[in-house]
Every structure is written in structure tokens, then in C-alpha cells.
Amino acid sequence: MKLLLIGLDGVRLDIAVPAAMTAHPGFAEPDHPADPRFAAGPRPEDAPDMPEPTDQPAAPTLERLWRGGAILPVWMTPPTDSGPGWSALLTGTGHEQNNVWWNEFVGHRLARTPDLLTRIWAANPQARTYAAASWDALVDPGGPGPAIQQRPDQQVGGQHQIFHAPDTTDGVAAADRRVTAHATWVLNHEGPDAAFVYIGGVDEAGHDHGAASPHYREAISTADEHVRRLVKAVSERYEQLGEEWLIAVTTDHGHKPEGGHGDDEVDVRRSFLVLHRVGPDRADGWARDAVADRGPLRAEQVAPLLLDLLGVRVGSWDPAHPVGERTDIPSVGPTRDLRYEW
Ligand SMILES: [Zn+2]
């Protein structure tokens, strides 16, 4: 089974797929406390209220994926900025391990906390992988990350492809269209073993207009249409080749009614993981059965779960060997112990 992981930045599930909010009791409140350093300040007096709840999903494709698959709550650990969020989701490590706390990525350890695609490749160096994004922190070696490792040796032969749409002068939503166009082509014609596609337009609308705005809801619908095209690209491969795919969709945080994120509000910390298997009819209940006793998840548990569902086993060293530890020796010179004189 191949993997298509779609990352939608800054999506609130109560707008995207309101019916899914009651599907799992774990969506009600966070499963773990937040560090008080990242507590939200007082709500501004002029902050708008969210619109009246509606049953109508802004993301009908996401709803269809969920109804034919499964959804799990995911709780982000503040700070709920995009850098730490995507680093945790993609690498399966927390802020302390990968040392990504803000969008500056200062002092990050992403070389030692490889992303999901790199782990899949490490498990079998034949694997072909693909990543597409507009945000440089995810894919550009000249950016502050990147969270997705470059692996130039694999890029030479097209075994690892990275598509970066850096031009956001017409908005992130315009760059999303280029990302989706490239991704649908590669998914449809090449069918990499594992792919990550990032859509950033919802976060842009959240910052510009707030989650209470019609613009935010429209941006979710636009992102959902990108999701539909990506799913269609791999569904055609199942139809013609019988190639099975695991579709996974997640987000890194919500948005405040007035816009913004980064702190510990419940609506900002709430994320989700939609899982859907594209395969024969019996695949419909597969995702539901596969994760029936799972969740809520923390962000760093998403990548390990996906690897598990794919059956990817990452190798390990003898547990007694402290891999990667660096310890200097005292500068005392030779001891004259002949056992160690060579
Ligand atoms: Zn974000």
C-alpha cells in the first residue's frame, strides 16, 4: 500500500467537517496539558464570535474520506506555530527532540529526526518519495528547515522529488494551485511509494480575515477541492492498476475567530487525522477497523501510526549502544598501560 499524506495548514474541523466532531469523544478537550509558558492571553474585547454551527461541511471531500474511512483526534502541544507543528507531525518527534519551537527553526535537530518520507526510504532504499509545498521551511534547503530532508543522491535519479512553489506574491492560495497541479501529475503518472503534499491557503485566510470570516470557510472549501483532485489522481491508479493507497489528511493547528494561533486555546490545539484506504470495496471499513482502539493522538504519534499502517519497519541498533552520543575524553595523555599502546 502506498501513502498520500496531505497537510492542510490551519484547518478547524468544526468548520471543515462539523459532523466528525462528535464521531470521537476525544475531540472534546486536549488529552495532555500545555506548558504554561504558552498560555493564551485574555481575549480581545472586539474579537468576533464564530458563526452559528451548521451541519454543512466546508470540506465535502474530507467528509467523504472520513465516512468511508476513519478520523482520530490529534492534540497539538503548544507552541502551536506551524514550524513546531509540522516538525512534530512529519518527524514523529516532539519539540524537545527536534528542537523546533518557532518558525525560525533556530538550533533544530531535523537532520537527526528524519521525516516520514526519509524513514520510509531508510526502511527500503528502493522507495520512491515525493514532497510538494509552497512553504520554504518544509522543502527548501535555503529556508529555515527544511522539515523534509533533501537526500540529493536520491534526487539525482528522480527517486526523491521535491517541488517547491516559492512565489507567493499572488498569495499562498495561488501557490497551492501550482503545488496541486504538480502533485496530481506526479501522483497520477508516477505513483511514488509515499508522498506529502502541503496546502497553505487556509492558514493565509485565517491570518488575513479570522476563522469567523466567510473567507476562512471559502479557503477550506478551496483546499478541499485540492484534496479531491489529489485523491482522484491516485484513485485512477487503483482503477487501472489495482494499486492500493492510504490517504491521510491532517492539520497543524486551528485558528482563533479573530485569526492567529500559537498558544493553547482548545480550538487552536485541536487537529485531526483522517484515514482512508483506496482499494477494493472491502477497503471501506479497513481504516475504521485499523484504528478502532487508537487515539486521541499527539502530533508526534501521527508519523509512527502511518508507518505502522503501511507495514514499514524502521531498523534499530543494539539497544545497549548509545547511538549518536558524543563524549570527549580527558586530555591527560597516554597512561602507559601497554594493553592500550598500539
Ligand atoms: Zn500552520
Helix (H, G, I), strand (E, B) or coil at 72: strand
Residue 326: all three cell numbers together: 558524543
Ligand 1 center to residue 6 CA distance, Å? 13
Strand order in the sheet with 2-8: 160-164, 129-133, 194-199, 2-8, 245-251, 270-278, 70-75, 297-298
Residue 255 contacts residue 268 (beta carbons within 8 Å): yes
Ligand 1 center to residue 335 CA distance, Å? 56
Ligand 1 center to residue 172 CA distance, Å? 12
- pLDDT value at position 280? 87
Read off the pLDDT of residues 198-207 as tens digits, 9 standing for 90 and up.
999 999 999 9
Ligand 1 center to residue 9 CA distance, Å? 5
Helical spans, DSSP H, in 192-254: 201-209, 214-241
C-alpha dist (Å) from residue 217 to 57, 81, 119, 261, 272:
9, 21, 35, 17, 17
- pLDDT value at position 282? 67
- pLDDT value at position 13? 98
Written as one string, the DSSP assignment of 250-281 is: EES----TTS---S--HHHHEEEEEEEEESSG
Ligand 1 center to residue 16 CA distance, Å? 16
Ligand 1 center to residue 339 CA distance, Å? 58
Ligand 1 center to residue 159 CA distance, Å? 28
Ligand 1 center to residue 251 CA distance, Å? 8
Ligand 1 center to residue 83 CA distance, Å? 7
Ligand 1 center to residue 208 CA distance, Å? 13
Ligand 1 center to residue 327 CA distance, Å? 37
Which residues of the chain, if any, have pLDDT below 50? Answer: none
